[in-house]
Structure 1
Amino acid sequence: MTILAPIVSLLATVVLFYGVGAKGLSRETAFWRTLRSVLPVVDDEAREAGFHTTYELSEREHVGVLDLGVDGAEELLTGLGGIPTLLAAHKTSPDGRPEVGSWGFFGYCPWFSRLSRPAQFALMLVAPKQLHIMLFERDDGRVDVYAHYEWSPYNPFVALWHLRGRGLDIDEGVRRARKKLGLCQS
Structure 2
Amino acid sequence: MSDGVQRRLSYRLRRALGPFLDRAMRTVTDETIRVFPSGYAATVHCDIDRLESVLSEHGFDWNPVSMYHYTRLGKQTNGSWVSRESPFADRQLHAVLVRQDAGRIDVYAHEEYNWRRHPLKHTRDAGIDRERGVERMRAVLDDLDVDDRRESYVRRKVGHLGQRARAGLARIADA
TM-score norm. by structure 1 comes to 0.68
Cα 1:172/1:101, change in 2 over 3 Å = same
Q: Give 1:184 deviation, angstroms.
A: 5.5
Q: Do the aligned residues in 2 keep the contact of 1:178 with 1:185 (CA within 8 Å)? A: no
Identity of aligned residues (%): 26
- Mapped to 1, the partners of 2:27 and 2:109 lie a distance apart of 26
- Per-residue CA deviations over 1:28-62 (Å, capped at 9, x if unaligned) read 3223332333433444432222354x721111111
Q: Which amino acid aligns with 2:101?
A: D
Unaligned 5+ segments in structure 2 are 143-147, 152-175
Q: How does 1:73-84 map to 2 (within 5 A)?
A: 73-84=51-62
Q: Do the aligned residues in 2 keep the contact of 1:26 with 1:83 (CA within 8 Å)? A: no
* Deviating more after overlay: 160-169 vs 87-96: 87-96
1:173 matched to 2:160? The reply is no
1:153 matched to 2:115? The reply is yes
Q: How does 1:101-112 map to 2 (within 5 A)?
A: 101-107=79-85
- Mapped to 2, the partners of 1:70 and 1:184 lie a distance apart of 15
**Where does residue 30 of structure 1 map in the other structure?**
8
- Mapped to 1, the partners of 2:124 and 2:4 lie a distance apart of 24
Q: 1:100 aligns with which of 71, 74, 78?
A: 78
1:50 matched to 2:10? The reply is no
Q: Which amino acid aligns with 1:56?
A: R
SS in 2 for 1:55: coil
- Mapped to 2, the partners of 1:175 and 1:75 lie a distance apart of 21
- Mapped to 1, the partners of 2:102 and 2:64 lie a distance apart of 28
- Mapped to 1, the partners of 2:101 and 2:149 lie a distance apart of 21
Cα 1:68/1:144, change in 2 over 3 Å = same
- Mapped to 1, the partners of 2:29 and 2:47 lie a distance apart of 36
Cα 1:172/1:159, change in 2 over 3 Å = same
Unaligned 5+ segments in structure 1 are 1-20, 108-122
TM-score norm. by structure 2 comes to 0.72
Q: Which amino acid aligns with 1:102?
A: S
Q: CA RMSD in A?
A: 2.5
1:61 matched to 2:21? The reply is no
> RCO (CA 8 Å, sep 6+): is it higher in 1 or 2?
1
Cα 1:29/1:94, change in 2 over 3 Å = farther
Give structure 1 regions of 4+ aligned residues with deviation exceeding 3 angstroms.
40-45
Q: Do the aligned residues in 2 keep the contact of 1:61 with 1:146 (CA within 8 Å)? A: yes
